[in-house]
Every structure is written in C-alpha cells, then in structure tokens.
Amino acid sequence: MSRLRVAIIGAGLGGIAAAVKLKKSTSAEITVFEQSAGVGGTWYDNRYPGCEVDVHSHAYSFSFLKYDWPRTHATQPELLAYANHVVDHFGLRPHLRLSTRVTALVWEETSSTYTLSTEHGDSLTFDVVISALGLLSVPRYPEWPGLDTFTGPVFHTSRWKEHDLAGKNVAVVGTGSTAVQIVPAIAPDAANVYVYQREPGWIEPKNEREFTPRERWMYRRVPLAQRISRARIFHKGNLRFKGYDVNSRRQRLMRSSCERFIDSTIADPDVRQAVTPDYPWGCKRPILSSTFYGSLNRDNVSLVPHAVTRVFPGGVEDATGSVRDIDVLILSTGFQPTKFLAGLDVKGRDGRGIHDVWRERATAFMGITVPGFPNFFILYGPNTNGGVSVIAQLERQAEVVVGAVRRLARTHRRTIDTSPAAARRFTAWVDRRLASNASAMNSGCHNYYHDGSGHNVTQWPGGHLAYALATRVIARFGLRSPS
C-alpha cells in the first residue's frame, strides 16, 4: 500500500502538534495548509499591545520538547518564536503551504479519499484530513447602530492596526482576557481610555515574572526540572477545577482570593463595586491579570460599567444614554467559539455537510470525530476546551489521530469512521456532567460556553487527566474500520 496522504488545516500549535507526532510515528505524506503568511495560529494573528498567554509557560508548551522559556508567562513574540522553533526543530518547513486557505472538503466514496479545495483553485486528494482551525479564530463583531458611521480608526483586537494613540481618546469595549492586557499597555500613551464593561469577570493576579538566571540554568540542565514544574502546574489546575462546584470549599476560596485582590489594588470604592461580579467564580472563564486593576487607578482611565448601545461618527453611547467623544474605537468583543469549522465546507458520506449535521448543535466523539465523516479529525473540537492547558488537550487529540493513521496503514483498510452509538453516548455523558445545577458554568452570566440553544458545546467537564485517560482508552472503542 502506498503512503497515506494526510492534510492538516491550520499551522497553529494544534496543527504543529499533529504534524510532529505524525512525522515521528508514521510514514504518512504530510501537507500543512495555513491561511496566514506564517505559523503560530492565534499567536500569529493577535499582535495587540500587551498580548501574552495567561497559562504558565511550562504548561503552555509541548511535552515532547524542552524549551528555554525566559518568563513564567510567554509574550506573543516569544510564543511566535516558540512555534517557529518547533517547526524548524522537527523539519516541518517543507510540509507547509502558507498563505493558502482551505475552502472545502468533499468525501469521495469510490476512492475513500477527500478532495481538498483551496482559495487558489487547487483541487488535491488526501486519504486523511485533520482540521486544526482552533476555537478562538472567528472574531465577534457587534451590531451596534451607527458602527459603520464612526469616522476614526475602529478594529477588532485580533485584527490590530497600529495607530499613534498619543493624545487620543480611546474606547476599549470589553473587559475579557484581551482587554485586560490592552488597557494597561496603551494607558501611558493615550489621553483618555474609556473601558466599557457590560459584565465584570473574576480576575486573579497572574504573578508573571522573568525567570532568574539560576532558574533558567536549572530548567535547561536538570533533566526532570521542567517536567516537575509542569506536573505541579497541572496538579494545581486540577484542584482549581473543583472550584466550579458552587457549593465547594474551593469555590469559596477562589472568590475570596479575587475579592481580596480587588480590595488591595483598586482605590475607588465605586470602581471596586463595579468590577465585582454577582455570580460564582468560574461562570465565565476566569481572567488572570496582575496589571488591569492597577490601571483603573490612573487619572486618564475611566471604567464605564455599562454596555455600548450606539455609535456616532465621533463617539459612543452607553446603556445609560451617556455619550463620550472618542478618536479610536477598539473592539475587544471576543470570538465565536461555538461556530466550529466556520468558513470550511466539509461534506461526508452521502454528500451530507457537517454544518447541516450540526444545525441543532455541534457534537463530536471525544471532540475529535463525527459519524459519517470518515478519515476526518478535528483538533480543539466540541467540548474539549479546558483541562489546565489547551496544548496538552491538543497533544492527546493528535495522538488519537496518529493511532488512527497507524491503524489504517497497518490493516490496509481504507477508512476509519465513528460509531454513531458511541458518539451519542459520549455527548449524553458530557451533557450530564455539565448540566449540574451546582456547576458555576450554568450560573446565568454571559460566557462563550453555550450555543444559541443553550447547549454547552465548548467545555470539557473535567481536568486534563480525565481527558488523557479517555482518549487513550475510550477513543479506540468509538473508532471503527468498516472497510
């Protein structure tokens, strides 16, 4: 049998993980398609001031490669350098097709292959296709009346445009993980920064810092040092997950810690009250930032604890009717994580489109495979977000794909599909775990976990260890080789 041809869509950290593991453990011919001009995914696209990860570097990196991280939490340039380092270390450059967006996949039953189409008019054939498009890649743009009339610069944070903000009045709409990085970074230059907050989030101090020379030497020279550090981070993360039970002691500890952080860093009591949520810790994704609260003490930074309702050519109006004159409008309005595979048309058996199958809700067995779409795998698919570090989740998913590719090559079978019964049982189990009335995720705040029908389609209902065990044991029973 000839070598299997495998296409990977996306050269972010998920696509890189899949390519590395396939190259190390299979003889497949690998092609990685990336719509951007470089690798890194979200860390290539997001270049706003202050951009950095909020997960410790030793956890937000691959387990199969030791790396000399300079700080506890990597900045965007450092993460982009890391992605390129991994690509070069494992010789993936020849497999890349950059600046090439994949537009469609069509399953050909007679040949058991996919026809892959690109924006350049290519029509290519692959035996296996892996989607590594990521979860936070489709920006959410608000539908405010008058937005198109604004005469100054206006842009989403993931499409950052460089402007001289000196002496400018700037509105930052949103107080999520991105906004809390941008505000402290731009406040020293702007004349005024108005921070529009629809709903506050629980914020914890990130405690980021440079590693000392001694620490860096130890992590470079002592073989187990990074592994021990990584294990400690995952252990703490598993303990944090217990806090999602609103009746737990861990929930009370997390809330108390966040409240003490507010009281110790914000001077104005009205601002302290405005940034304190009235819902449990964990209803939204917890935010980590050591500098955002302090920036609210600046004379030129104003928290507006109301939603934006209208935009004028030179200003914005909030829910109270107050209008503020601004020169620059920055949209930190998040993404559309529940729209999986947005922009990619995938057709499986009998010509069924995956978005038609997902019309009521997006589901996938272990978040990786969908019945009726043989030899097609998803990284960072439905209900796989969480587990301390998404990088670890992506590695486990890539290992499932490698196992399937090896099985195809070993058995000389042409397809691997998913048992519909196994997929239904998996989704039912996830729903039961997530539907608990005691889960903070169901506490009524605005979060990105739920689709329009109220289904939690993004979150994994446990820690990473549970997902690792599930992908190693359960996945093999849901994947079958019918031909």
Domain ranges across the chain: 5-138+338-480, 147-212+235-331
CA gap 433, 459 in Å, rounded: 11
Structure tokens at 120: 């350049």
pLDDT, one tens digit per residue, over 320-370 is: 999 999 999 999 999 888 899 998 999 999 999 999 999 999 999 999 999
CA gap 455, 295 in Å, rounded: 36
In our burial notation (b when 16+ CB lie closer than 10 A, e otherwise), range 416-455 reads: bbbbeebbeebbeebeebbeeeebbbbbebebbbbbeeeb
Query: In this structure, how many other beta carbons lie within 10 angstroms of the beta carbon of residue 302?
Result: 15
DSSP character for 471?
Answer: H
Give the pLDDT score at 359.
94
pTM of the model: 0.95
CA gap 231, 294 in Å, rounded: 32
Give the pLDDT score at 150.
97
Q: Given the DSSP bridges, would you call strands 323-325 and 315-318 parallel, antiparallel or unpaired?
A: antiparallel
CATH for 5-138+338-480 (3.50.50.60, 3.40.50.2300, 3.40.50.300, 3.20.20.80)? 3.50.50.60
Q: Which of 64, 133, 139 is nearest to 102 (CA)?
A: 133
Decide: 442 and 459 in contact? Cβ < 8 Å.
no
Same CATH fold assignment for domains 5-138+338-480 and 147-212+235-331: yes
> Which segments within 28-134 are labelled E, that is strand?
29-33, 96-97, 102-108, 113-118, 123-126, 128-131
Would you report the helix, strand and coil content of the chain in percent, each value rounded to 5? 35, 20, 45
Cα distances from 300 to residues 154, 167, 182, 434, in angstroms, run 20, 11, 15, 42
Separation of first and last alpha carbons in the chain: 15
User: What CATH code is assigned to 147-212+235-331?
Assistant: 3.50.50.60
With a cut of 70, list the residues of the chain below it in pLDDT: 1, 475-478, 481-483
